[in-house]
Amino acid sequence: MTTRGEAFAGLSVALTTPFKDGQVDYALLSEQIEFQIAAGTTCLCPVGTTGESPTLSHEEHEQVISAVIQAAAGRIKVMPGTGSNSTTEALRLTRWAAKEGADAALVVAPYYNKPTQQGFYEHFKALAEAVDIPICVYNIPGRAAKNIEPETIIRMAELPGIALVKEATGNMDQASQVLNATDLTVLSGDDSLTLPLMSIGAQGVISVVGNIVPRDVIALIDAWNAGDLAAARQRHHKLFPLCRDMLGLSTNPIPIKAAMQMLGRDTGELRLPMTRLSEAEMADLRKTLTNYGLL
């Protein structure tokens, strides 16, 4: 079945935001973008959770969106995070992204204020009607404190501007319900669930581990799409310990930034309230990366 956001099928990478001495390091960000383009990644997703968007100023948020779009220069799709728990702020960011030339907008469920299901619907409706680029509904109850119920997403699918769902509920039944009732493109929001979700109709992943092993994630997706289930399983089981042992060390993006630092691709600098891994956790991370073959 054709899905309305299938141009974003494959690997999208939730980019980190590199910092140096407290400021956004745009030179290092550009290097990250080139790394992903060389790997064959489908889409870049800056200024999401992994990009520490809660600690960026409004001006920085806009500047990073613009910088990534300009550096991408049409060579790779860009779907920046433009969500907020304020519809007014989400509208401003989403309009900015559209004006700057983004290919889509990744919009997290409004967090902290826990809207009703009607509130979720009205929030995404306002965004979808304000811009001409596709909207990806990012459903992550673990961060937002409330689930966008499948019935609400199915209702949102009636809006032409809603095209994708980043599925991070961990609930396969919910994903099945959305896939069964809509033509939305579903992307996994959990690296360890990419293959299980693709087995029921998802078309890829918005990945954290893709920051360091994009080619391996692409290989998994390609194997599944080619009908080579044995190879897809092999790739899944190779990636699974990395996803579990690295991302399970601490809150995202703490472990991925530490890993990128070990690999010489990031300063490892975070903004409070995010703090670095402990020495014991760093040792565990080094062991995980070594076991995977990265160190």
Catalytic positions are 138, 166
Picking from 191, 133, 108, the residue whose alpha carbon sits closest to that of residue 5 is: 133
In three-state secondary structure terms, 264 is: coil
Question: What does the buried/exposed string (b/e) look like for 57-68 if buried means 16 or more CB atoms within 10 Å of the residue's CB?
Answer: eeebbbebbbbb
In three-state secondary structure terms, 185 is: strand
Q: Any idea what the Cα angle at residue 100 is, between residues 94 and 104, rounded to 5°?
A: 50
| The residue type at 47 | V
CA atoms within 13 A on the CB side of 235: 22
CB-based burial of residue 144 (10 Å sphere; 0-12 exposed, 13-18 middle, 19+ buried)?
A: buried
